[in-house]
Amino acid sequence: MNLAVSLSFPKELKIRTNSEYEEIFGKSKRLSTDHFNILFAPNSLGYPRVGLVVGKKAVPGAVERNRVKRVLREVFRLNKSLFGSMDVVFVAKKGSEKLDYSLAKKEIEEIVRSKLS
């Protein structure tokens, strides 16, 4: 699967099961920004996967929660090459619903480029 060229977002790029989330939460390293906690752990798949956690306490409205998830998925989809062969989980903090795509992308890119490179 050549993910560097592909802009699609197939099921294989999503962390979907509870056991996968538990494994990542247990063995991951963490980065923190103003609006997100980013957990990452290496995987042996050869491509990155993403998981999203947007809780009701952090973002109370369902419409806002869904929007935060859409923005995070788009940031990941268009910047897959930044993450290499990692499992990445974005955990939204309070105030993350105020970010648009460009601000979220900038915040995530800055921390990932500085810490993972």
Highest CATH level, class, for 11-116: alpha beta
Q: What is the pLDDT of residue 10?
A: 87
d(CA 61, CA 48): 29
Q: For position 59, what pLDDT does the model report?
A: 95
- What is the per-residue pLDDT for 38? 95
pLDDT score recorded for residue 2: 54
Burial degree of 60 (CB within 10 A; 0-12, 13-18, 19+): exposed
- Asked whether the whole model's pTM tops 0.85, one would answer yes
Residue 58 pLDDT > 60, yes or no? yes
- Give 84-94 pLDDT, tens digit per residue: 899 999 999 99
DSSP character string of the chain: --TTT-----GGGB--SHHHHHHHHHH-EEEE-SSEEEEEEE-SSSS-EEEEE--TTTS-SHHHHHHHHHHHHHHHHHTGGGG-SEEEEEEE-TTGGG--HHHHHHHHHHHHHHHH-
- Sequence ranges of the domains in the chain: 11-116
Which of 77, 81, 56 minimizes the C-alpha distance to 66? 56
Tell me, what's the pLDDT at 8? 77
